[in-house]
Structure 1
Amino acid sequence: MHVPDGFINTPVSVVTGVVAAGAVAVSLRGARRELGGSSVALAGAERTAPLAGLVAAFIFAVQMLNFPVGAGTSGHLLGGALAAILVGPCTGVLCIAVVLLMQGILFADGGLTALGVNITVMGVVTVVVAYGLFRGLVTILPRTRRSVTGASFVAALVSVPAAAAAFTLLYALGGVTDVPIASVFTAMVGVHTLIGIGEAGITMLTVGAVIAVRPDLVHGARGMAAPLKLLVDGELVDAQPAQPAQPAPAPAPARSPRRVWLAGLAAALVLAGFGSFYASASPDGLEKVAADKGIDKSVEEHAAANSPLADYGVESISDARLSGGLAGVIGVGATVVVGSGVFWVARRRRSSGENAAPTPVQNSV
């Protein structure tokens, strides 16, 4: 659903750019807490901080894998729900922003003047809708791994047509082509509901895989273990913790997320380097609707159209498989480096500010 240059007029593009910048600024502050850079950091945040850049790189890789949804249309992961559940909503917005920035600058995917539109629609809307729905579901469902994965499926499914509806609203406000908005809304929400099913499956499988190995690394699964219940006189009551007969041993040191990080990076590289060659070549949901409704008549040439990596291929390599695979590997590497740098700075700024010693004040006599 990468909106190109020319779909939305300048005033609305500027406004959404301001909205996106504000959302990124707010997310930077919130991400410091989610990543353990605050004195009120969430439990387990220190272990998930190294994974934030990896999540951005993984989403970049999976977005290269367009899957068919019928009628000559394909779809790809948006990733807002996945990022929010794995590393937190604020960090999730930053993950999607980093991915969109890399795609726009390096691969001419998604307009640069439409960057604010794309961050707002694919980042902010998907994260807010998905994480809000996810938290509501895990609150009322039994606190189990199955509940978390099931909630992630529903949240991801709803987030995609919600993003499609958000785009339609922006097009109604600033579309440069005179087309019936009702028909655009029906087409966008309809096809993106189908795409949402694929998004939901990918999100559920990924969240489930990480929970199965390291549930402590999943932001949305923190506090997942339900209190032990005992049946007393036909009623369930909370079990009282046993009193230790001797002082409790020192807590075991936190397990390193290195193995999960390496496995995730390897998966991203394989998906982008090899799996992307087998992705569907059909236009994605937005491209299909734009072509059918005549919206694409206003599309402008991308400012980075002459990039050596434009259209996810290396310019100097003629072999399509090798060119696309190498471009994918470069994209994963660039995204994990940039993303990790952003999250490292976000975490360190707050930590440094809190740990700084106060300046002594001398009283004059």
Structure 2
Amino acid sequence: MPVYKDDNTGKWYFSTRYKDVYGNNKRKMKRGFTTKREAKSSEASFLNDVNEGFSDSNTYDYIFNHYLEHTDLRPKTKRRKQNEYKKHIQDKFGHINMNKITQNQCQEFRKYLMNNIKSTNSARTIWSGFKVVINYANKYFGLRSDPTISIKPIPRVKPKPKYMLREEFDDRINEIEEQDYRELFTLMFYTGMRIGEAMALVWEDYNKYKKEISINKTMDITNRTIYPRAKTESSEDIVPLPKFINNMLDERYQREKQANKYFNEKSFFVFGGLAPKHYSHVHKKFQKVFPEYNIHVLRHSYASYLANNGVDIFVLQSLMRHSQITETMGTYSHLYTEKKHDAISIFDK
């Protein structure tokens, strides 16, 4: 197909007709090429995508980028996948047609990850991301065989979660001078909320009469972006509040409402005001008082306290907002040892 030169700019462009996926006649024009060759190459690439865009003869690179563009991923997740791809996958598979990837290549890639990535869980994450693109090609690009199907998965290493006792938390939290941070950490300890969920709260999410908080969004702590959905589908739920936490929030609500001229329940953050707090500040305050813990330990401590005080594991699953009971059991079943002894004591009666 011919390409054209713009007399006004001296740049080249192409203009071509094609049929879209619905069979409708369309025209594609793209400008700004320095040379005629660049314009022709771009036009040829575009037409190839139109004609063979959903073929397993496309490269891994093409299908990876198609996956990123057409999958509903959070920006944070997309950035992580792009970084993992560029660092570990692109030079090995990016140029290979998807239907030419072999089992031996995949086996060598697994070996590379196990030998070069210090964390087994990080290696597992990269391997899973690699397989996701292959599964995507199988579903949307007609890939007939999965070259990874007979390769042993990289195992998940689940460390035993750290947690602090309620007495320890109640004693040490008073070392934090600023009331904002003291109340933020207290809310997290006694509700099991994640940091992104707590920092995304606006006053509209709080109901003092029902003594509960609605979790329906989260904050990306790297850039303070609020996403209008929880971390997972199961995370979007109601969190019940102990009476003393409800009283703490009610008092905070009254203070904030009186102190701020532009107070609005729909847009005023529970911790931050017109804008959420910076996570770097939150992290710094937490580490000053709890240097041996990370902030997620508050969530583990909440679950551990409930488990140690006899809360049924299925109720714990609901309170933790886990999608599967296996997630709850895999993390906290070791805390139910006493329950097992209580159950088996029936034989001694």
TM-score w.r.t. length of structure 1: 0.20
Name the one with the larger strand percent: 2
Name the one with the larger helix percent: 1
Computing the radius of gyration from Cα coordinates, the structure with the larger value is: 2
Greater RCO (Cα-Cα under 8 Å, separation 6 or more): 1
